[in-house]
Structure 1
Amino acid sequence: MGKIKKRLRNISIRKSFVIYMAVFLLFAILLSGLITKTVDIASESIKSSYSPKEAGRYYLTTEDGKRLGNGADIVIQNESVQYSPQDKRALFVLDILRFISVPFSFAMCIGAAAMLFYRNKLRIPLAVLNTASEKIAADDLDFSVEYDSKDEMGRLCTSFEKMRDVLEKNNCEMWRSMEERKRLNAAFAHDLRTPLTVLRGYSEFLSTHLGADTVSKEKVLSTVHTMRAQIDRLESYVQNISSIQRFEEIQPQPKMVALSDVQQAFQEISDIVREDKKVCFAPLTQKSVMISVDLDLALQVFENLMSNAVRYAKEKIDIVIRTDNHLLKVTVYDDGMGFSSEALKNATQPFYRADNKRDKLHFGLGLYICKILCEKHGGSLLLSNVSTKGACITAVFHYGNSFSKIDKKLIVE
């Protein structure tokens, strides 16, 4: 019984409507016939209770007076029967019922068909869609549109669920972007305090001592030099913030390129930035495979990864390039100390530096920019440690037809 109900629920709305109407029109024909038959029986029952006042018997004869045929009599009754008032009313009502039986039966059955069709095919999905619309209007996307049917309403509910899912992802992405922007502004403001404090202190020092002529020329030059360094630092901050904004507005422009050409471009970058470190590329398993990727964007990511690896590697950097399930994965290993537990969580955040004293010109934006560019290309940036090789960073680029953000389950090693 359950399978039959499920099959009926999966029938298209048009076919269901035709079936409902056909069944109930047939039922209307039977019902009107039954009513007419019942009315005729009731009428005959009333009339049969009255005897005719006059009756005559006649038979057909030839000119010679002989009977024709089998000589059966023809009975002609007098129809002017006097019915009682009650029976007259009953016969009148029965005549009306006979007259309206057909339109009444068809109207009632069509109405019943419409009600059942609405209840079985439209009521539930319309209620589901109405509830979903109200929740979306209230900015509540934490629900799912569920209606188990393959008819038009089922497909509409499925499309509505896809729309809700896209809205939820867009809202989450927008919220994440806003929160990241807040963190970026907070980090930027925090890091600006030091150079601004230094500049204020030295400006007060110069304004106090230059007027009194109590400071040597060498001290003045040293102070000015320090102030100039802090101004350069501020300019670098501003340039980095501008570059982040530019990266966030980038839209990938993919082109078909061979995987071997991608590795060749990466090797050229590594030759420029490797300094005294040894760089080893793993052999490609599919050199001739063609992928659709924004090579310029991928090179920007790889250059940042190489710069980061060169900064922390002791002697050697290993690079592995491979494709898997429409994903281009570029993994950079270094033989350094690896990431701390704190760095694994925060290294992709803007202005994060594991050791602030290590490099004052390093603002902690490289991995953050890599993450932005990978996500623009539908991928992600994964950080981990390898016991034999130190730190491991994998940049993932999606090279399918769409750059929508992919499920991270697809890119886990």
Structure 2
Amino acid sequence: MEKIRNLSIRKTIVLYMGLNLILSYGLSFVIIHTANDAQQKIWFRYIDKDRYYEAMENKGDDYEINITRSKLNSMTKTDRVISELCDFLDTYSILVISCLGTIIAVLLFYKHKIQIPLGELKEASARISEGTLDFSVAYSNEDEMGQLCRQFEKMRCQLEENNKKMWKMVEEEKALRSAISHDIRSPLAVMEGYQEMLLEFLPQESVSRDKIMKMLEAGMQQIKRMKAFINTMQKLSKLEERNICWNQIDVADFIEIVKNNTVILGKKAQKECHTVVKSDQQSVYFDSEMVLEVLNNLIGNALRYAREQVYVEVDISGDEMRVCVQDDGKGFQEDAELLTKAYYHGNPQSDLTHFGLGLYISRVYCEKHGGKLLLVNQDQGGEACAYFKLKT
């Protein structure tokens, strides 16, 4: 039954029509034979039985005895109707039964092969037109309609994914506009305050030269902050356009680069960095620049919040790379989704060069590389784990 249910539409049509022909001709044969027998019995009532029995006694091999058709006016009304009905069945039963069989075969074909998947597709189309995408098209047959339903389900999943990405982009754009407004407004407010003080006190020469120089230096710091912010905006605008460059990377060389980068960043921050690398591959394909930028971002972020030590673990296994960076600080104080948003940072005034893009860029690069970024709190501090899909 399972094989019949999974037959292609063409084979199913041939099967249904073949069965229809066999059953139609078989049933027609039975009906015609039965009608002839009934008609012969009716005619037998109106023949000369003495001559019939005499003929039967003298019957030879060179001839056969047939009961001749009786005249209709010699029959009773009931026998006449039955005889005419038998004539009709003898003449048209094949045609009538074949037509009825074809209609039944078409209805069964529609019910078993078309109706259910067509209903699924019709309902799915209606829900998509209403903007609802949280459902699934479930039709497990392996025929053409099953393939069509699976393709439709793939399209629905893609639409749902694109819809989520679109809303995510809208939310990120809102947050980005809010962050940009805040990070530009703050230095402008500081510079405006200094300018007002200079305009008020400079004409009266009531402010010292040292004070003026401090105001100008503070204003230059805010200008540098705004220039750095504009540079980050330019980098952010090119982030989505970045494509993965699948290059064959020697794992031993990559490990050496990771260890060197970790040592350099640790010395610069005057904190200890410990690196552990595991690999069961000699060479794999991935975007080394993208992975190293994520690694540097995670190490730099960990060094900013670590008390004394940072632990880096790189694990290359099969078709996946896992990069985990843990610090001995207080851990993450906010939700991971909030921390990986663009321009999010705890205290905007604490660092003029930090604009909260490190984790955001790392998350985007991980997703571009077929992976993800996870932020969790461990017993000794916060840990960021980046996952990347590899090609072997």
- TM-score of the aligned structures, taking structure 2 as reference length: 0.84
Q: Unpaired runs of 5+ in structure 1?
A: 60-68, 402-413
Q: Give the match for residue 326 of structure 1.
A: 319
Distance 1:395 1:74 in 2: 97
The counterpart of 1:381, out of the listed 348, 373, 383, is: 373
Q: Give the match for residue 238 of structure 1.
A: 230
CA deviations 1:129-151 (Å, max 9, x no partner) are 11112212222111111123333
The 5 Å alignment of 1:84-103 reads: 91=83, 94-103=86-95
The 5 Å alignment of 1:11-160 reads: 11-51=7-47, 81=71, 83=73, 91=83, 94-160=86-152
Distance 1:387 1:22 in 2: 73
Q: What SS does structure 2 have at the residue aligned with 1:341?
A: coil
**How many matched pairs?**
385
Q: Give the match for residue 355 of structure 2.
A: 363
Q: Give the match for residue 295 of structure 1.
A: 288
Q: Give the match for residue 280 of structure 1.
A: 274
Q: Give the match for residue 342 of structure 1.
A: 334
Assess if the C-alpha contact under 8 Å between 1:125 and 1:157 holds in 2.
yes
Q: What SS does structure 2 have at the residue aligned with 1:83?
A: helix
Q: C-alpha displacement at 1:107, in angstroms?
A: 1.3
Q: Give the match for residue 64 of structure 1.
A: none
Distance 2:81 2:152 in 1: 60
The 5 Å alignment of 1:304-319 reads: 304-319=297-312
Return the letter of the residue paired with 1:125: P
Q: What SS does structure 1 have at the residue aligned with 2:181?
A: helix
Q: Give the match for residue 409 of structure 1.
A: none
| Alignment CA distance shift 1:77-1:192 (3 Å) | closer
Q: C-alpha displacement at 1:386, in angstroms?
A: 3.3
Q: Does 1:396 align with 2:387?
A: yes
- TM-score of the aligned structures, taking structure 1 as reference length: 0.81
Seq. identity, %: 33
Q: What SS does structure 2 have at the residue aligned with 1:396?
A: strand
Return the letter of the residue paired with 1:16: T
Q: Give the match for residue 411 of structure 1.
A: none
Higher mean C-alpha deviation, range 147-156 or range 374-383? 147-156
Higher mean C-alpha deviation, range 261-270 or range 83-92? 83-92
| Alignment CA distance shift 1:73-1:243 (3 Å) | closer
Return the letter of the residue paired with 1:282: V
Assess if the C-alpha contact under 8 Å between 1:343 and 1:354 holds in 2.
no
Return the letter of the residue paired with 2:321: L
Q: C-alpha displacement at 1:400, in angstroms?
A: 4.2
Q: C-alpha displacement at 1:209, in angstroms?
A: 4.2
Assess if the C-alpha contact under 8 Å between 2:187 and 2:225 holds in 1.
yes
Q: C-alpha displacement at 1:51, in angstroms?
A: 4.2
Return the letter of the residue paired with 1:175: W
CA deviations 1:79-129 (Å, max 9, x no partner) are 894725957676555434322222112111111111111112221111111
Assess if the C-alpha contact under 8 Å between 2:343 and 2:355 holds in 1.
yes
Q: Does 1:261 align with 2:253?
A: yes
CA deviations 1:15-69 (Å, max 9, x no partner) are 33333222221110122112322332343344334347xx9xxx9xxxxxxxxx9
| Alignment CA distance shift 1:324-1:73 (3 Å) | closer
| Alignment CA distance shift 1:341-1:222 (3 Å) | closer
| Alignment CA distance shift 1:75-1:367 (3 Å) | closer
Q: What SS does structure 1 have at the residue aligned with 2:384?
A: strand
Higher mean C-alpha deviation, range 89-98 or range 21-30? 89-98
Higher mean C-alpha deviation, range 77-86 or range 216-225? 77-86
The counterpart of 1:190, out of the listed 182, 194, 209, is: 182
CA deviations 1:285-310 (Å, max 9, x no partner) are 43x53221101111111221222233
Q: Unpaired runs of 5+ in structure 2?
A: none
Distance 1:146 1:343 in 2: 36
| Alignment CA distance shift 1:345-1:20 (3 Å) | closer
Distance 1:392 1:166 in 2: 32
Q: Give the match for residue 161 of structure 2.
A: 169
Q: C-alpha displacement at 1:218, in angstroms?
A: 4.2
Return the letter of the residue paired with 1:252: I
Assess if the C-alpha contact under 8 Å between 1:260 and 1:284 holds in 2.
no
Distance 2:63 2:232 in 1: 122
